[in-house]
Amino acid sequence: MQKMTTFALRLAGVPEGRCSLIADFNLQNMDYQEIIDSVLADVSPLRGAGRVADYIPALASADPSKFGIAVATPDGVMAGAGDWETKFSIQSISKVFALTMVVRRLGEDVWKFVGREPSGNPFNSLVQLEYEKGRPRNPFINAGALAVTDRLIGFYDRPKEALLEFVRSLSGSEDIYFDKEVARSEIEHSSRNSALAYLMKSFGNIRGCVETLVDVYCHQCSISMTCGELARAFLFLAARGFNPVDGRRILTLSQSKRLNALMLTCGFYDESGDFAFRVGMPGKSGVGGGIVAVIPGHLSVAVWSPGLDECGNSLVGIEALERFTTRLGNSIF
């Protein structure tokens, strides 16, 4: 752990002579495998709790008793427990990848068409979008993600392939694909997302073809990954915008900080405040039961359990992450 924290402190600009002292104070000699094994044992009695997302038929057959957790660090530590190597549909977690790609192209101009405030409403609400004249509250509700994906489509001739390649490069895994059954199921039940897109188009906030947009967006949500792949793919947000998997800088230090801030305040829909209170990490959830979160400068952690709470977030996943930061004795706070 000493090596990992020193690496993170150097990224943050701490002088070399002070790195070891501060690293000792933070997360010295953490045995992540032992911690997540204990978390797995703690939450095992809860496995199966919650309700799977049945409004997308392809997700309705998910086994709610499944649970996986994986931790990755910028220095290459990887620890996993439970069903951490099982693929699942990442759903809204993909919104972070699309937003990152667009931020890399547009920088601060992103905020001209999407806001940065929590919504306080369901993630697919039409009411708030109408009231605010087609400008979504943030990039992580469906309307905001559709607006972001619309811009992404404008940058690439083959946007679906570009998104897959980006996620593969972040995770260091070529074995990442769209789940075709999930994508088809989402497209067949995409009336609400189409309505959101057409409403924004009426206000001039969607530029392209709505049918193409919904197709790309549904495929984006169907990306299938393991907890381990997700944890590695989010390391660039744990390492101040630098991707330790392939050595590239993905975002500037400021952009990384701001994206983490958005995940903390908006990453869990209208449960974001409670997640910050209980867990204390920036993160993003998906209705497939996945959650990924980071402690900037230290680690990323991904969990998966398909049973959802009333807000559409993994019930057991949130419980596991609360126990994880408690046992770690560290969060962003």
In CATH, what number is assigned to the domain containing residue 44? 3.40.710.10
* Least-confidence region, from 119-133, 210-224, 250-264: 119-133
> 201 and 318 share a domain?
yes
> 183 and 202 share a domain?
yes
CA 209 to centroid of chain Cα atoms: 26
Instruction: Identify whether 212 is part of a domain.
Output: yes
In this prediction, residue 2 has a pLDDT band, given cuts at 50, 70 and 90, of very low
> 11 and 85 share a domain?
no
* Average confidence (pLDDT) over 315-319: 98
H/E segment holding residue 290: strand 290-295
Is the confidence at residue 14, as pLDDT, over 70?
no
Is the confidence at residue 59, as pLDDT, over 70?
yes
> 299 and 239 share a domain?
yes
> 25 and 97 share a domain?
no
Instruction: Identify whether 324 is part of a domain.
Output: yes
> 39 and 3 share a domain?
no
The 10s digit of each residue's pLDDT in 202-256 is 999 999 999 999 999 999 999 999 999 999 999 999 999 999 989 999 999 999 9
> 10 and 38 share a domain?
no
Instruction: Identify whether 67 is part of a domain.
Output: yes
**289, 295, 297, 300 alpha-carbon torsion, rounded to 10°:** -20
In this prediction, residue 88 has a pLDDT band, given cuts at 50, 70 and 90, of very high
Taking residue 46's Cβ as centre, other Cβ atoms within 10 Å add up to 16
Residue-level pLDDT at 161: 98
Is the confidence at residue 174, as pLDDT, over 70?
yes
* Average confidence (pLDDT) over 287-298: 97
CA atoms within 13 A on the CB side of 303: 30
Residue-level pLDDT at 128: 87
Residue-level pLDDT at 1: 36
Number of domains in the chain: 2
Instruction: Identify whether 333 is part of a domain.
Output: no
> 53 and 11 share a domain?
no
> 306 and 165 share a domain?
yes
CA atoms within 13 A on the CB side of 249: 8
Instruction: Identify whether 193 is part of a domain.
Output: yes
Domain range holding 22? 1-29
Residue-level pLDDT at 210: 98
Is the confidence at residue 17, as pLDDT, over 80?
no
Q: Percentage of the chain with pLDDT > 90? A: 85
* Average confidence (pLDDT) over 278-304: 98
In this prediction, residue 136 has a pLDDT band, given cuts at 50, 70 and 90, of very high
Is the confidence at residue 7, as pLDDT, over 90?
no
Is the confidence at residue 6, as pLDDT, over 90?
no
- Residues noted as catalytic: 92, 95, 217, 269, 287
Tell me which amino acid residue 321 is: L
Instruction: Identify whether 141 is part of a domain.
Output: yes
* Average confidence (pLDDT) over 6-17: 51
Residue-level pLDDT at 18: 43
Tell me which amino acid residue 27 is: L
Query: What is the number of helices (H) and of strands (E) in the chain?
Result: 16, 10
Residue-level pLDDT at 215: 98
Tracing tokens 């070529």 back to the chain, one arrives at 174
Residue-level pLDDT at 21: 34
Whole-angstrom distance, CA of residue 246 vs CA of residue 319? 32
Tell me which amino acid residue 217 is: Y
> 154 and 18 share a domain?
no
> 18 and 146 share a domain?
no
Taking residue 44's Cβ as centre, other Cβ atoms within 10 Å add up to 12
Instruction: Identify whether 210 is part of a domain.
Output: yes
- Across the chain, mean pLDDT equals 92
Instruction: Identify whether 203 is part of a domain.
Output: yes
> 13 and 36 share a domain?
no
